[in-house]
Chain A
Amino acid sequence: MLARRVLIGVPYLWLLVLFLVPFGIVLKIALSDYALSIPPYTPTMDFSQGWSGVKRFFAALDLENFWFLSEDDLYWKAYLSSLRIALISTFLTLLAGFPIAYAMARAPQEWRPALMMLVILPFWTSFLIRVYAWMGILSNEGFLNQALMGLGVIGTPLTLLNTDIAVYIGIVYTYLPFMILPVYATLERMDESLLEAAEDLGCSRLSAFWSVTFPLARPGMVAGCFLVFIPALGEFVIPSLLGGSGTLMIGKVLWEEFFANRDWPVASAVAIVLLLLLIVPIILFQRNEQKQREANR
């Protein structure tokens, strides 16, 4: 009985230590005020003054930073622009990932593990190095421009690096496996005879795809979209390395608040709002998972 409780307790302990406690700390900082001190905010809990110290501490917390976020339109623009970039790149990832997953699921059985390896392979190199590699590919003198000019497709180099396009490319490239794997999993599970049944009942190959394959792959696509969308929304590395000065993403704003402005309270408030924004898709994602589990029962 005790052992059971301990066993059940472990995941909750993880949740407490790794999520709730840090969240509490960030929330507390978000409610504090900026100060030129170490740490760079006030108030801090002072237990030496006893109960009145605790009361004074709580009295000094307020929502000022959140008001500030709503007043300065930089933040709203950054949130909206992150949302836009995350949505578009999620869609692009789906567009690129679906055919790959489809081809993998249709490949001969004995090839599939190897294909799966190829999809996962990039994870074996550092993410940063891979993004740097894209800088080398996309810059004005980069491989892509050289190749295109060498082939005579273009006369002058395309400006790709430090634009939104480079950010899209970076996000699609980085998160593609997260799209391919769940879509592949649903497609691979699909019974081949369903397509034959559809053809038998009057579908052409194409309409069999749209009326059978596509709806059956939907749970996988939804899962993949969330797995891409959620991290893409708060993405920081890709926009700061590949994006330009015009690329506004909330991850970048957050970084600048923390490290350039050293305004921890505002930065924490930005993080909290981002978290709240993310909770919506996360809940939707879990619903999707649950629905799928029920359907598979």
Chain B
Amino acid sequence: MTSSLDDTAFAPWKKADAVPLIRFEGVTKRYGDFTAIDNIDLNIYEREFFALLGPSGCGKTTLMRMLAGFEDASEGAITIAGQNMKGVPPNRRAVNMMFQSYALFPHLTVYDNIAFGLKRSDMPKSEIAGRVEEMLRLVQLGKFARRKPHQISGGQRQRVALARALAKGPKLLLLDEPLGALDKKLRQQTQFELMDIQEKTGTTFVIVTHDQEEAMTVASRIAVMDHGRLVQVDTPDRIYEAPNSVYVADFVGDIDIIRGHVAAVDGDIAEIVWAEGKPPLRGTAAPGLSAGGPGALAIRPEKITISKDDPGAVHNKVRGKVEDIAYLGSMSTYVVLLPDGVRLKCQMANVRRISRRGIAWEDDVWLSWTDTAGIVLPE
């Protein structure tokens, strides 16, 4: 299911004539002889909600700090709105940042925290109060204007930090793990509020997160990072459905990986030999895949069908023993051990009463999926 966005949808990265707001050109950042960012090329467009996703230490914060002006690139150029940002200090950039720790000023009230940037801008004094009120309304904190940061909850602090960063109406807002300190429920609620605010203000957001679900929820595009490199930059659905590497596939959501050898590539379909004496498995060929090298078939657990009977004439079917069953309410997850030691997860919606499905621990079962359900990736 490749995204079929029509022309009216928001997708400036598809338009050849669109001018990016942010442009990274061959950007490298070194700390001593450690390379934190490794030769990155990236365009981010106006009004995008762009997510940087990757494990801890992969360079997300560093990338963000270069945009904010706290770090200079060791090599390459960063341009924002057509201006090369080399040597431009943070206070001279139309960029604001919401810090991972929030960094609220403890000696100032909520109101004064939000007004802090405005008082240092060229906004006339008479307009500041109005703007602060507007921000307080946006994040629904009007009642707490006179409180100090230590007198409000974590979730409220997070909103103050957001309001403070938005108050000056920046072209670009950077959010470094903005929801990291919130509990799950508040997180999800806040994700939607963030999207709402982004839409209302029309600001370009660049968000850092190590939570793939969060990135999928909020972002228009996601950049998956690994060791200072961009592995894939794409829309959430493409990242999920068409990962370009085992790394991305593995990082984003649950996935089964079957490693083997790419036997043949025929148009869109590739065949992978994964165990001796077994028929090869088929999957969608990743772009640029060629036969002959090592590869992996990646498939989402929800695309695998489990049954006790032989599914019949399909290419992709394997036999195994049920090792574990997790009942998740609307879904059940089965862990099936194949004779070769490969473990596959399979997820089925519980449309029938569980007792009538009749698959139990230690049962011999068939797993099957269609030719295009999985994707064959080079390794």
Partner-B contacts on A (CB < 8 A): 191, 193-194, 196-204, 207, 211-212, 215-216, 295-297
Using known A-B contacts A202-B121, A202-B168, A207-B120, determine if residue A197 contacts B91 with beta carbons closer than 8 Å.
no
| B107 close to A203 (CB less than 8 A) | no
The answer on a CB contact under 8 Å between B107 and A196 is no
Task: Given the known inter-chain contacts A193-B99, A196-B70, A197-B99, please indicate yes or no for A203 contacting B91, CB distance below 8 A.
Answer: yes
Return the chain B residue nearest A193 by Cβ.
B103
Q: Contacting B117 at CB < 8 Å: which of A191, A196, A202, A295?
A: A202
A202 contacts which chain B residues (CB < 8 A)? 91, 117, 120-121, 168
B158 to chain A, nearest CB (A): 14
Q: For residue B165, which residues in chain A have a CB less than 8 angstroms away from its CB? A: 200
B124 to chain A, nearest CB (A): 15
Cα-based distance from A221 to B89 in the complex (angstroms): 30
Q: By CB atoms of chain B within 10 A, which of A199, A201, A216, A295 has the most?
A: A201
B68 at the interface (CB under 8 A from A): yes
Known: A207-B120, A216-B106, A297-B150. A199 touches B91 (CB 8 A): yes
Q: How far is the CA of A84 from the CA of B103 in the complex (A)?
A: 41
Contacts of A296 in B (CB 8 A): 150
27 residue pairs A–B, Cβ–Cβ below 8 Å: A191-B101, A191-B103, A193-B100, A193-B101, A194-B103, A196-B68, A196-B70, A197-B97, A197-B104, A198-B105, A198-B116, A199-B70, A200-B68, A200-B69, A200-B96, A201-B116, A201-B117, A201-B164, A202-B168, A203-B120, A204-B89, A207-B120, A212-B105, A215-B107, A295-B106, A295-B148, A296-B150
- Could you tell me which residues of chain B, from 74 to 128, have a CB within 8 Å of some CB in chain A? 89-91, 95-97, 99-101, 103-107, 116-117, 120-121
CB–CB B101/A199 < 8 A: no
Task: Mark each residue of chain B from 129 to 169: 1 if its CB lies under 8 Å from any CB of chain A, else 0.
Answer: 00000000000000000001010000000000000110010
In the complex, the answer to whether B89 meets A199 with C-beta atoms within 8 Å is yes
Cα A91 to Cα B99 with chains together (Å): 36
Ranked 4 nearest A-B pairs via Cβ? A201-B117, A202-B120, A197-B103, A193-B103
Q: How large is the interface on B (under 10, 10 to 19, 20 to 34, 35 or more residues)?
A: 20 to 34
Choose among A194, A204, A215, A297 the residue that contacts B91 (Cβ–Cβ < 8 A): A204
Min CB distance, A208 to chain B, in Å? Answer: 8
Residues of A within 8 A of B150 (CB): 295-297
Bound-complex Cα distance A191 to B102 (A): 11
User: B residues engaging A (CB < 8 A)?
Assistant: 68-70, 89-91, 95-97, 99-101, 103-107, 116-117, 120-121, 148, 150, 164-165, 168
Contacts of B116 in A (CB 8 A): 198, 201, 211
Q: List 13 other contacts, CB 8 Å, given A196-B103, A197-B104, A201-B117.
A: A191-B101, A193-B103, A198-B105, A199-B89, A199-B91, A200-B95, A201-B164, A202-B120, A204-B91, A215-B107, A216-B106, A295-B148, A297-B150
Would you give the shortest CB distance from B170 to chain A, in whole angstroms?
Answer: 9
Give the nearest-CB partner of A196 in chain B.
B70
Contacting residues, chain B, for A212 (C-beta < 8 A): 105
A295 proximity list for chain B (CB < 8 A):
106, 148, 150
Residues of chain B within 8 A of A201, CB atoms compared: 91, 96, 116-117, 120, 164, 168
Please give the distance in Å from B116's CB to the nearest CB on chain A: 5
Closest partner residue, chain A, to B174 (CB atom): A200
Q: In the docked arrangement, what's the CA distance between A18 and B89, Å? A: 59
Per the bound structure, the CA–CA distance linking A204 and B91 in Å amounts to 7
Chain B residues in 8 Å Cβ range of A191: 101, 103
List, in ascending order, chain B residues with CB within 8 A of A193's CB: 99-101, 103
Distance in Å from the Cβ of B105 to the closest Cβ of chain A? 6
Chain B nearest CB: distance from A187 CB in Å? 14
Residues of B within 8 A of A196 (CB): 68, 70, 90, 97, 99, 103
A215–B150 Cα distance when bound, in Å, is 16
A194 x B68 contact (CB < 8 A): no
Instruction: Return B159 CB to nearest CB of chain A, in Å.
Output: 15
> Which of B96, B107, B164 has the most chain A CB within a 10 Å cutoff?
B107
- What separation, in Å, do the CA atoms of A105 and B339 have in the docked complex? 62
Complex partner residue of B97 from A200, A204, A207, CB under 8 angstroms:
A200
- By CB atoms of chain B within 10 A, which of A193, A199, A202 has the most? A202
Contacts of B70 in A (CB 8 A): 196, 199
A200 touches B107 (CB 8 A): no
Quote the shortest CB–CB distance from A79 to chain B (angstroms).
35
A189 vs B90: C-alpha distance in the bound complex, in angstroms?
A: 24
A202→B169 CA distance, assembly (Å): 13
CA distance A215 to B165 in the complex (A): 21
Residue of B with least CB distance to A202: B120
Q: Report which of A199, A207, A211, A216 forms a contact with B90, defined as CB distance below 8 A.
A: A199
In whole angstroms, what is the CA distance A295 to B89 when docked?
A: 32
Closest to A208 in B: B91
Question: In the complex, what's the smallest C-beta–C-beta distance from B348 to chain A, in angstroms?
Answer: 47
Alpha-carbon separation in the docked complex, A191 to B150 (Å): 14
| Cα A194 to Cα B69 with chains together (Å) | 15
Separation in Å of the A185 CB from the closest CB of chain B?
A: 15
Chain B residues with CB under 8 Å of A199's CB are 70, 89-91
- State in angstroms the CA–CA spacing of A203 and B89 once bound together: 10
A109 to B7, CA, bound (A): 55
Q: Is the CB of B105 within 8 A of A200?
A: no
Residue among A197, A203, A295, A296 having the largest count of chain B Cβ atoms under 10 Å: A197
